Amino acid sequence: MLAEEMGGLLERSSISPNIRERRDASCALFDADGRMVAQAAHIPVHLGAMPESVAAVRACGAAPGDVFLLNDPSHGGSHLPDLTMVEVIADANDAQRIIGYAAVRAHHADVGGMSPGSMPFGATELFQEGIIVPPVRIERGGVAQDDVMRLVLANVRTPEEREGDLRAQRAACAAGRTGWQALYAKLGADALGDAVNALLDYTERRVRARLELLEGAQGRAADALEGDGVSDASIPVVVHVRVQDATLHLDLTGTSPAVRGNVNAPPAVARAAAVFVLRVLCDDDVPVNDGVARALALTIPDDCVANAKRPSAVAAGNVELSQRMTDVCFAALSAAAASIGVHDLPIPACGQGTMNNVTLGAPGWSFYETLGGGQGGSARGDGPDAVHVGMSNTRNTPVESLERAYPLRVVEYSVRRGSGGAGASRGGDGIVRRYQAMVPCTATLLTERRRVAPPGANGGGDAQPGRNLLNGDVLPAKCRVNMKAGDVLTLETPGGGGWGFRNS
């Protein structure tokens, strides 16, 4: 509940439509040992990586009253536009005693770099993607360090909007601190500590109980990304699954080495995908906290696209590699379950498998959003239409908000009928979104599932792949184009795969 209150305050206080309207942000609370206790129902790729950022803050000698800012992928950052703020929470009655941490991660529509929106096409190193912020104090002992904030704001294209959103993050952290302090004062250190331990242990028991149903299962699956923005060559993603001693073992051996383009991802993102997959296996009422990860063992080869080392570019890896990882993990889990005769896991066919990243901008403004598509069908029923799937959980940008804030017009926003795969449970349909530029601007697209359709499962049919077009001409999955006033950019997003043989 406290984490949800943090998110509500952030949403109401932020300035950019990407945070205020789309809710491209996440909030969580951690105990004094850096264990995640509670998270809001926000963005899986944010929340699964956030514990590494809190650990990085703790390693910097965090003191009561300090507030840190960071986005460095080497310290649990997901990609540079995702700025994370962490407040060190002190006991209200003992200012020298740390009792927890409040953390807020939000995607900022620009953090500098080689193109507006900081989601560049063709980037080959991290330095091209924006300002890199290691864990640095923006408050020390409750006193603002304005020089750090001035440095950050001097390196972005839209400093006023960034400052407003960062202040909203600060307010959300303060709300988390106030709520945690009140809970601590009400229960006392021992009772609160016991309650946290009991909650995490309960979550672990629930997760392991589900895994016990798959004991001894083994499976493998493979898929690929459709190029890295530098080369169109496919990039293999391979996952081996094994369930042993009520622990889910995921091994990425066989996955592509790191690539030149920006579909690499830091290990924190790979771990976020693994935690999400494990959570999906469980019942809806299982809390999401540190207890989930206790039942997970993840192996990532050192030279791997999912184990990016500086200065590898990572902007698209956070959004696109994470999606492909979840697709492949689910497919491997389905194969593993089938190997021991289990066929009723709550695993759908592949959803759209991409976040359809769209950035448009020019001097003085930068607009970013991701687009929904179809979810895969499952044993539980048809996949929903026009939703964000997998590692994203944002909302859409309302047309009215977009057109009020930016020199853009949305000339079509509709469901892409018939794009979902057929099956006993059909896949959900994607969407069509058409933007008309009112002034000259640059458009950058980082998308997937344009060459290879999201596959069906258990005999279900494949979905339709997506398409990108400028004035009716087909564009590559990843590209940067200049738009003139009046030009129309169209994204047709993929549907979800069908599940099961359709009775005819």
Domain ranges of the chain: 2-187, 210-344, 348-504
Check residue 346 and give its pLDDT: 84
pTM reported for the whole predicted model: 0.96
The burial of 483, by beta-carbon neighbours within 10 Å (0-12 exposed, 13-18 middle, 19 or more buried), is given as: buried
Residue ranges of alpha helices (H) inside 60-145 are none
* Number of residues in the chain: 504
Q: Tokens 């650990």 appear where?
A: 55
297-323 tens-digit pLDDT: 999 999 999 999 999 999 999 999 999
In 3D space, the residue among 432, 287, 305, 445 whose CA is nearest the CA of residue 374 turns out to be 432
The edge-to-edge listing of strands for the beta sheet with 36-39 is: 36-39, 25-31, 94-107, 82-91, 67-70, 136-140, 143-144
Those residues of the chain that have pLDDT short of 70 are 504
Check residue 504 and give its pLDDT: 53
Dihedral angle, C-alpha 307, 310, 313, 317, nearest 10 °: 20
Contact 313, 128 (CB under 8 A): yes
C-alpha dist (Å) from residue 91 to 23, 189, 300: 30, 10, 39
Contact 316, 359 (CB under 8 A): no
How many helices and strands (H and E) does the chain possess? 11, 20
Q: Which residues, at least 6 apart from 217, have a Cβ–Cβ distance to it below 8 Å?
A: 241, 242, 243, 336, 337, 339, 340, 342
Check residue 149 and give its pLDDT: 95
Gyration radius of the chain over CA positions: 22
Q: Which residues, at least 6 apart from 104, have a Cβ–Cβ distance to it below 8 Å?
A: 6, 10, 25, 26, 27, 84, 85, 169, 172, 173, 176
